Amino acid sequence: MRIMATTPTKAPARRILPTGIQDFPKIRESGCVYVDKTPQIYPLISGTPGAFFLSRPRRFGKSLLCSTLGAIFEGRRDLFGEIAGRPALAMDSLDWEWKAHPVIHLDLNAGNYKKGGGTLNSVLYAEMRREAKKYGIAIDRTEKPAAQFKYLIEEACEKIGEKAVVIIDEYDKPLTGTLGMRDVHVELRDALKEFYGVLKSYDACLRLIFITGVSKFSHVSIFSDLNQVTDLTLSPRYADLCGLTQEELEANFEPEIEEVLKNTGRSREAYIVELRHYYNGYRFSKNPLKVYNQSSLLNHFYDDGRFLNYWYERGTPSFLVNLLEQKKINITEMNDMRAMLNAYESYELDGMMPAVSLYPSGYLTISGYEDETGIYTLDFPNEEVRASFAELRVEHCR
């Protein structure tokens, strides 16, 4: 009797999840899973030129959004069609010129700003020098940052022959990182006021200004001098510009969901309920739409469906821990808070309300809204954040 050998069936290769990747070209070129946000982006950029601000908690996809906008305005249509085995994005078929604009993309997330203005100047110079090299422009380091910024905008527009796009990610990092250091904080605030003031004087040269951060500092010139900035933070129209809706989760991560169900033996219904309970619940407008933090979801799937507090480990800003200590905030009373809309319009060193720090940082989210009074109710978004807050409480009480 002859025994025939059989070839074992190979398990399907796991899809590439972009955990920790915020670079849109890298995600597309490497074949990573990408949830198409271009249908939400298109209405924002297809109208008249404008300036926009978006506040979202850290690890919520702001940097990826900025990178995607940069690719669109650089005319990189190749990244939006079928590429590396991934399907084309909606932007590829929409009515868009795909004209190449000079894109100046500055990211202020890096840098130990506690050292003061010297560090800020070094970071700004490094960011502008990198962007200038794309267009064969040399930045004079001896000039002040505002003068460097003016020169970069002028030269980039002349080189490309089109209006420039300015994208500033984490514009407020120097300020949130120095909230407990009055002299340094005021020094950086005044320096940034001068630097961002360039945007007002060069408005005629700019196709788009897009700025992200954790919150608004009303004394920085972006908001005190640039009257044309549109704040998208609480806009119902852009409530899902960052984060993933329930529909987006189930439409884009079916293979990962099926793998978790296969390995754990859970029922689909029970598993989806647990996902919602643990990671959903962020709400960014008066409308009831809620979204997931995609960073937590990606890490959950990457770790074979383990329910861990990924957002806390990666997203808790140090300034918040310091603020809780300085303001003697009782963190056991942070749920079910009520606040007026104008509470988010000023984010300053003095007189800071607990909600103003805990809402934009992601520890509290909108749980209700009263049309008659304009009052928002705030609460923990989900179990991950509630558990993370308990960990923060332990640190706070040490």
Which candidate, 40, 94, 92, places its Cα nearest to that of 64?
A: 40
Is 345 in the same domain as 386? yes
pLDDT of 184 reads 92
Select from 197, 219, 238 the last residue of a domain.
238
Which element (helix H / strand E) includes 166?
strand 164-169
pLDDT digits (tens, 9 = 90+) for 168-208: 999 989 988 887 788 998 999 999 999 999 998 888 899 99
> Which CATH number goes with the domain that contains 129?
3.40.50
**381 shares a domain with 277:** yes
Is 11 a domain residue?
Answer: no
Based on the structure, what is the number of domains in the chain?
2
**pLDDT, average across residues 250-257:** 96
Q: Which of 205, 222, 238 is the last residue of a domain?
A: 238
Residues 252, 106 share a domain: no
CA atoms of 100 and 25, how far apart (whole Å) = 16
Q: Which domain holds residue 262?
A: 244-398
d(CA 85, CA 324): 47
Indicate whether 317 and 196 sit together in one domain: no
| Residue 316 or 144, more confident | 144
Q: What is the value of pTM for the model shown?
A: 0.90
Name the nearest CA neighbour of 231 among 279, 284, 278.
284
Q: Is residue 4 part of a domain?
A: no
* 219 and 256 both lie in a single domain: no
**90 and 178 belong to one structural domain:** yes
Asked if residue 19 belongs to a domain, the reply is no
Q: Is residue 1 part of a domain?
A: no
Whether 84 and 161 share a structural domain: yes
| 344: nearest Cα among 233, 270, 237 | 233
Same domain, 315 and 201: no
Contact between 396 and 321 (Cβ < 8 Å): yes
Q: Does some domain include residue 344?
A: yes
Helix (H, G, I), strand (E, B) or coil at 55: strand
Are 139 and 184 part of one and the same domain?
Answer: yes
User: What local confidence, expressed as pLDDT, does residue 228 receive?
Assistant: 74
Average of pLDDT values for 237-244?
96
For the cut 90, the answer to whether the pLDDT of residue 349 exceeds it is: no
Angle at 26 between CA 21 and CA 27, to 5 degrees: 65
Q: How far is CA 252 from CA 247, 275, 293, in A?
A: 8, 15, 15
Q: Which residues pair with 105 in a beta bridge?
A: 167
Least confident of 34-43, 112-121, 277-286: 112-121
**Last residue in a domain, options 238, 261, 286:** 238
Average pLDDT over residues 318-323: 61
